[in-house]
A and B are shown apart, each in its own frame.
Chain A
Amino acid sequence: MPAAAPPATPRARTVVARATALSKVYGHGETRVTALDSVSVEFHRAEFTAIMGPSGSGKSTLMHCMAGLDTVSSGSARIGDTELASLGDRQLTRLRRDKVGFVFQAFNLLPTLTALENITLPMDIAGRRPDPEWLGQIVTTLGLSGRLGHRPNQLSGGQQQRVAVARALTAKPEIIFADEPTGNLDSRSGAELLGFLAESVRALEQTVVMVTHDPVAASYADRVLFLADGRIVDELHRPTADAVLDRMRSLPGAHAPDPRS
């Protein structure tokens, strides 16, 4: 078992993102599906949150709504002081560029760009120069120093995901969303990547929200939110993999997934 994050010192708990009575409904009439049912949650600075739940529980939808990738049916989703529901596509795009970082399950990188170019891509889109000191720190932290000139197809799966994390970090976003970032990795690379994510929260004071269905992955987080049927049904602080697994088993109507390790 990897070591859990060190006990958080009781700092000023700044809220960087907040959902209030957030609902998301797909379709209408017969095919109406409520993906999120009045969810309220806060994400704090320098905190690593994992969102867990069986498939169809709404965990990805919550992340998409909070990240400005999907629209909200009712309620509010805020990043900082910005209400996402009030933004148009152009402003949302800008918000994602400047305030949000992303790590997807796969296909994070542009094959035509080198690792370094991929890392600085959001800055290039914004037309800003990355802070070299910060960039150096990230690259070193993620162990990518020798790989910056490589193209994605010259990197291993783990290295590719680390480049994706580095990219998410460079613009110093308010919050980073990671969608099953270890889903395509073997357990060793997965553990390594989760270690880096936790490290970036602890040492670089970043805020990370990660969707996963892997209890081991969730055990790297500071807290775990459990979703079922579009609602937050439970919360666990400083979790261990076993504790997470126990909670999963007790979720209403859900069967626990196979632990991967």
Chain B
Amino acid sequence: MLRTALRNLLAHKARLLMTALAVLLGTAFVSGTLVFSDSVGSAFRNRTAKSLDDVAVSVTAGGGPADTGRLDARAAAAVRAVPGVTRVRPSVHGTVTVADRDGNPAGREWGSQGANYSPDDGGKDGKDSRYPLRTGRGPSAPDEVALDARTAERTGARLGGTVRLAVDGPVITKKLVGTVGTDDPRVESGGSLALFDTRTAQQLLGTKGEFTELVVSAAPGTDQDALAAKVRAALPQGLQAQSGKALAAEQSKVIDKETKSIRNTFLVFAGIALFVGVFIIANTFTMLIAQRTREIALLRAVGASRRQVVRSVLIEAGVLGLVASAVGFVLGLGIAVGLRSVLDANGASLPDGPLVIEPSAVLSALAVGTAVTVLAAWLPSRKAARIAPVEALSAVDQPAAPRSLVLRNAIGGVLTALGVAIMLYVTTIRDSSGLQTAMAGSALTLTGVIVLAPLLSRPFVALFGRLTARFSGVSGTLARRNALRNPRRTAATASALMIGLTLITGFTVVAISADRGVDRMGAQDLTADYKVTSTGFGGMSPEVARTLGGQPGVDAAVPIRMTGFTSHGAPAGLRTTNLGSLTKVTDLKVREGSLAAVRGTSVAVSDEYAEQRALRVGSSLPMEFYDGKKATARVAAVYAKNDVLSDALAAPSFVNPHLDKVLDQEVLVKAAPGASGDLPATLRKALGANPIMKIQSRDDLRRESAGNIDDVLYLMYGLLGMAVVIAVIGVVNTLAMSVFERTREIGMLRAIGLARAGVRSMVRLESVMIAMFGAVLGVGLGVFLAWSGGHLLRSSFPQYEMVVPWARIGVFLLLALAVGVLAAVWPARRAARLNVLESIGSQ
């Protein structure tokens, strides 16, 4: 039977091409993901290993009781005295933002590093081996700085020139004395590095006289763990020592976790693509077996058992799956490379490294591809087993009457009803606890509709056929009849497309609704024109608001100081601000009491908080501040929930005494009527072109949150695109098979006078009907699932309200139409080119 299976495979290679392509693409996706994550993981690991190369032991503060030990020169001396230690490098690091020519940050926010330049062994040769010099020398005086070469290039700074930078306050300037290289991944992937002499670094980044880390080196071959224990013993209380090996292992674990989460996300989409492929494989084998009925009956007649027939079909599927998976794996390598450049182009900045092909990736890709193909061919193979030997003798080549759909419809009806019921129940859930339920309900509904698709295809095709009948004439009628001829086949082909479109539509509706919600959030409460924040820790000195308020074109600059309190053990947000001009920057609706009464120990609370705590004007509210002091406030006003103001609002005189440092987290700027469009530039200049200051217009703010949603949405489109491509291949496949099956019919039609164009349009219309059926089902289902599932977002995201993006859905449907037309190009051409005489005479 093996030989029969292989012969069949070879005989039908053209017809199996599309199926192989479906398997191939799915496997390519899987293997691409695996190879990509392995490669990126290994590149990350190599890099950390390299940066930990000369770290035998690392000593850091922390790990002790609250008041931690001082990591100072004494501690360093103690460590140096430990036998086996060859060198101790005291290191200081933190966040330093370097300004580019326009006063904007030169590197990414999370990659803006600052550190000390600490020459090896107390500066015998004056060089720090961590930061090999490219030009100039290392900084050694308080007014000197060195930059990593890339940042220096980006900012256009020259040796001897000034560099403008900021740590957590106003801009400071230093003289550039050198440029260095670094293998710090945060810097390499788009950050920046500024180096100072140790004392200056301590001043800028930490407490005077203390270090962030002591990097201990040892002779090669030293037992790091033993050395760490010895160092630990020598350290004062409150400091901890970890071996380089342990650090590497820890980081490696973090890297694994991160690459695994990327990998799993991609694998979900690869799984969807493969699932879509199942429909195509199953369709193909069903058709092949139908075409081969007589041949299989003959095999049965000459003594092949049912089991042998099944096995033969499964072997055929297995070999096909294996070959396609192997090719798919090779293609997957290309995807792995492409994925990296796509992510790099989107700013992911992955470390460079060779493509890593783990044997497990090869094995899983081949196993998954083969298993999916065999599994998909299993049902059709059962059908082959049911072919009776006597069918070999029947003269009439009439395809067996299609099996009844009653059972299938019943099952589909039950599944769909159950799924819809669950989703309707989900709409009543008011928090995110229903996520699992919603996913189960969605899967159930989708499965139900797939099972029901043959039933649904009838009315759809009939209706669609009626719409097109007017201008498509007899070709339209024939196409409609052909599409209805085998509802299972039409449904399976359309289902493949439906799955992709359901997900795409669902994601689109939720994302666009969320986008509008974010929009509304920004527009609802904020009436200021600009929001000024600092990327440094803590916030901005009150000076900033005063400076901004004095600029021409500024109506008001209102500082928002954020803190919090607990009341009866429950935490709540507290804001204080310049109460007089607050209403200029936020749309504050006072429901009860008066804002003017908020002074002394009186506070205003949001209506939501008031309801939670059963407060009203005149109630007293016990508060415990972050400094541990307690006070009892009186509620003087209740305002409608407001995102700018959080739960409670109090006068600065009440709040300030409880703050560690009096800093503002935001300054909201209202432009004066008729202010010039250059206001942001004016503000930036007024703040000394400080790179840590962020000045965002309302549009910027909106884009900041919306931009993310858009990126995610486009990534989804890209990932789901593969499933759609496979579905399109499925349409091509079904049409090509149908054309093959109907060769004689087409020959006869041509003989009695149907022109080539008519044949083409017949095939094309059938294709469009299938594609539109899948698209309409998918879009409808996607909107329904997004509507019902979207209710879960309401609690955490009250501004969420479903928006149906009709324009985009229209685009989806148009694309489906185009897909239908495109998928038909090749099969239609084949059909039209058939030789009339040969077709009529063919078997």
Contacts and interface: CB of A to CB of B under 8 A. Distances in A.
**Which residue of B745, B753, B840 has the most chain A CB atoms within 10 A of its CB atom?**
B753
B745 A97 contact: no
B755 A90 contact: yes
Contact of A97 (B398, B477, B753, B840): B753
B756 A93 contact: yes
A54 interface: no
Interface stretch (B320-328, B478-486, B505-513): B478-486
B753 A94 contact: yes
B748 interface: yes
Nearest to B753: A97
Contact of B750 (A93, A108, A126): A93
Main DSSP-derived SS at the B contact region:
helix
Interface string A115-138: 000000110111100000000000
B2 to A, nearest CB: 35
Contact of A89 (B395, B745, B756): B756
Contacts of B745: 107, 110-111
Interface string B725-750: 00000000000000000001100111
27 contacts: A69-B751, A69-B837, A70-B837, A93-B750, A93-B754, A93-B756, A94-B753, A94-B755, A96-B751, A96-B752, A97-B753, A98-B753, A102-B748, A107-B744, A107-B748, A110-B745, A111-B745, A112-B478, A112-B484, A112-B485, A113-B478, A121-B749, A122-B753, A125-B749, A125-B752, A125-B754, A153-B398
Nearest to B751: A102
A124 B474 contact: yes
Contacts of B473: 124-125, 127
Interface of B: 395, 398, 401, 473-474, 477-478, 481-482, 484-485, 744-745, 748-756, 758, 836-837, 840
A64 interface: yes
Given A94-B755, A96-B753, A104 B748 contact: yes
Given A112-B478, A112-B484, 16 more contacts: A64-B837, A89-B756, A90-B756, A94-B753, A94-B755, A96-B751, A98-B753, A104-B748, A104-B840, A107-B744, A110-B478, A110-B748, A110-B749, A112-B485, A153-B398, A153-B401
A28 B325 CA distance: 45
A44 B836 CA distance: 26
Contacts of B750: 93
A213 interface: no
Contacts of B484: 112
B267 to A, nearest CB: 43
Contacts of B753: 93-94, 96-98, 122, 125-126
Contact of A121 (B398, B482, B752, B755): B752
Residue among A107, A122, A126 with most chain B CB within 10 A = A107
A69 B836 contact: yes
A59 interface: no
A69 to B, nearest CB: 6
Given A89-B756, A104-B840, A125-B474, A113 B481 contact: yes
A78 interface: no
Interface of A: 64, 67, 69-70, 89-90, 93-94, 96-98, 101-102, 104, 107-108, 110-113, 121-122, 124-127, 153, 167, 184
A90 B754 CA distance: 9
Contacts of A113: 478, 481
A236 B755 CA distance: 38
A24 B572 CA distance: 97
B739 to A, nearest CB: 14
Contacts of A122: 752-753
Contacts of A107: 744-745, 748, 840
B486 to A, nearest CB: 10
B760 to A, nearest CB: 13
Contacts of B744: 107
A125 B840 contact: no
Contacts of B478: 110, 112-113
A102 B752 contact: yes
B458 to A, nearest CB: 13
Contacts of B398: 153
A110 B477 CA distance: 12
Contacts of A153: 398, 401
Contacts of A125: 473-474, 749, 752-754, 758
A67 B482 CA distance: 28
* 10 closest residue pairs by CB, A with B: A97-B753, A112-B481, A124-B474, A93-B755, A96-B753, A107-B744, A125-B474, A122-B752, A125-B754, A125-B753
Contacts of B840: 104, 107
Contacts of B758: 125
Contacts of A89: 756
A77 to B, nearest CB: 15
B376 to A, nearest CB: 28
Contacts of A184: 395
Nearest to B482: A112
In the complex, which of the residues B473, B477, B840 has the most CB atoms of chain A within 10 Å of its own CB atom?
B840
A213 B207 CA distance: 111
Nearest to B397: A107
Nearest to A89: B756
A124 B477 CA distance: 10
A68 to B, nearest CB: 9
Contacts of B485: 111-112
